């Protein structure tokens, strides 16, 4: 079977469809929980699956350092190692080299860096990044790119984008074709429309299984991010999936789906789950707040996760106050469930041609805030 995306319905620029992969089908638009180092933090693979998640993300940078790509390969690949038989997308490692690694040196061929774990020296090139992702058994591999710094001048963004396009061609050439596996290119170009269009054209000419928009959610703000999508998305092939990397809040997702994005990943639901921040149909709550100490209601009455069906807000507040492990575990589960329910409802709304009305209703409930009773 070949890696493909089929469109089932459109509503304005929004699309509902399905990815067909070697590891199963995935309905889009889809949100990928982030499984940084071979685990979605604080959750078992079964728990992640129970939320409806079908596609998760793994981080090449973390996995190449620990336990190492050869070790993951010897253990049967990432799917087998972490008991996730479904599809997995891995990033190229480039973003984390830039944001986490110590002492790094970028040259035309690749990047040399020191591990943030033990200071050991490593090198990533387009070819080695794709090779590592193949050893991890990634269903979807990402081309190595340079995530352009923000802010950047147009000249800096242009040079950076041009480098990423040369690396994109090398990444594509290094990818070995396997049935049901794919490789995505990444549009760069900062906030400059002409550079984004040039990048989209360069990637389309190379030809990928899907196209990501990178270099956003790095401090430019939502309005500028949506502006880049308005320019970039129409320039991408209509019959391939489009992935907005590292985004975002539920409101970001609504806006980006409405602009034609099909795939997302972000650490927000899992990271927030560890810091007592709850995403709900009534907006975002901080469960450390004293107002929850005697609140015997479920966190979100509309949610079917174990936290919302079996525990009170007061119990969750207590767990975080005492720094009990179960607090982050339960709230991560809830937040991942919230994001999956949120995307399921968006997919249904697109199929029924009522995305705009759905988005307005969702935003109105957030604005109302918590039920005062």
Question: Taking CB under 5 A as the rule, does residue 278 contact Zn ion?
Answer: no
Of the pair 104, 297, the CB lying nearest Zn ion is at: 297
Among 91, 252, 262, 341, the one annotated catalytic: 91
The region that residue 180 occupies, defined by phi over 0 for left and psi between -120 and 50 for alpha, beta otherwise, is: left
Q: How far is the CB of 102 from Zn ion (least distance, A)?
A: 39
Quick one: which of 46, 65, 64 has its CA closest to 56? 46
Of the pair 138, 299, the CB lying nearest Zn ion is at: 299
Number of residues that bind Zn ion (CB under 5 A): 5
Q: How far is the CB of 331 from Zn ion (least distance, A)?
A: 9
CA angle 36, 38, 42 (to 5 degrees): 75
Question: Taking CB under 5 A as the rule, does residue 334 contact Zn ion?
Answer: yes
Q: How far is the CB of 281 from Zn ion (least distance, A)?
A: 10
Residue 295 annotated as catalytic:
no
Of the pair 26, 299, the CB lying nearest Zn ion is at: 299
Residue with tokens 């890696």: 3
Question: Taking CB under 5 A as the rule, does residue 47 contact Zn ion?
Answer: no
- Which position among 303, 336, 343, 362 is part of the footprint of Zn ion (CB under 5 A)? 303
- Which position among 48, 216, 305, 330 is part of the footprint of Zn ion (CB under 5 A)? 305
Q: How far is the CB of 373 from Zn ion (least distance, A)?
A: 19
Q: Say which residues have a Cβ less than 8 Å from residue 292's Cβ, sequence separation at least 6.
A: 285, 313, 314, 316, 317
Of the pair 199, 335, the CB lying nearest Zn ion is at: 335
Of the pair 113, 285, the CB lying nearest Zn ion is at: 285
Q: How many CA atoms lie within 13 A of 104 on its CB side?
A: 20
- Which position among 42, 97, 143, 308 is part of the footprint of Zn ion (CB under 5 A)? 308
State CA 179 to chain mean position distance.
23
Separation of alpha carbons 194 and 160, rounded Å:
14
Among 11, 145, 262, 265, the one annotated catalytic: 265
Answer whether 188's CB lies under 8 Å from 145's CB.
yes
Residue 159 annotated as catalytic:
no
Stretch that binds Zn ion, among 3-11, 250-258, 298-306, 358-366 (CB under 5 A): 298-306
Strand segments, DSSP code E, in the chain are 4-11, 14-21, 24-28, 30-32, 34-35, 56-58, 88-90, 102-106, 111-114, 121-124, 140-142, 182-187, 210-213, 242-244, 263-265, 277-280, 283-286
Tell me which residues are annotated as active site: 91, 265
Contact positions toward Zn ion, by CB under 5 A? 303, 305, 307-308, 334
């Amino acid at each position: 079977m070949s890696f493909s995306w089929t469109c089932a319905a459109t509503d304005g620029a929004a699309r509902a469809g399905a990815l067909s992969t070697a590891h199963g089908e995935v309905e889009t638009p889809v949100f990928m929980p982030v499984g940084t180092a071979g685990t979605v933090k604080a959750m078992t693979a079964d728990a992640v699956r129970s939320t409806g998640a079908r596609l998760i993300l793994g981080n090449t940078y973390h996995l190449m350092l620990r336990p190492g790509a050869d070790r993951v390969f010897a253990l049967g690949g990432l799917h087998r190692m972490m008991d996730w038989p479904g599809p997995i997308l891995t990033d190229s490692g480039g973003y984390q080299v830039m944001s986490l690694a110590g002492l790094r040196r970028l040259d035309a061929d690749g990047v040399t860096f020191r591990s943030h774990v033990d200071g050991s020296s490593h090198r990533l090139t387009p070819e080695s990044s794709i090779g590592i992702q193949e050893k991890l058994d990634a269903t979807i591999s990402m081309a190595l790119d340079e995530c352009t710094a923000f802010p950047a001048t147009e000249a800096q963004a242009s040079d950076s984008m041009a480098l990423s396009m040369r690396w994109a061609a090398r990444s594509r050439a290094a990818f070995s074709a396997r049935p049901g596996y794919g490789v995505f290119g990444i549009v760069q170009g900062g906030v400059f429309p002409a550079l984004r269009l040039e990048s989209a054209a360069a990637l389309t000419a190379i030809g990928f299984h899907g196209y990501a928009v990178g270099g956003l959610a790095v401090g430019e703000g939502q309005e500028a991010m949506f502006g880049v999508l308005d320019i970039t998305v129409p320039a991408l092939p209509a019959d391939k999936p489009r992935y907005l990397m590292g985004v975002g809040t539920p409101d970001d997702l609504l806006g980006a789906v409405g602009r034609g994005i099909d795939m997302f990943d972000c650490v927000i639901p899992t990271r927030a789950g560890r810091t007592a921040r709850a995403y709900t149909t009534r907006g975002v709550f901080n469960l450390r707040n004293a107002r929850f100490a005697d609140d015997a209601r479920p966190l979100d009455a509309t949610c079917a996760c174990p936290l919302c069906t079996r525990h009170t807000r007061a119990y969750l507040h207590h767990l975080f106050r005492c720094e009990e492990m179960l607090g982050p575990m339960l709230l991560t589960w809830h937040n991942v469930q919230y994001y999956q329910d949120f995307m399921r409802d968006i997919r249904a709304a697109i199929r029924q041609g009522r995305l705009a009305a759905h988005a307005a209703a969702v935003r109105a409930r957030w604005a109302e805030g918590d039920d005062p009773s």
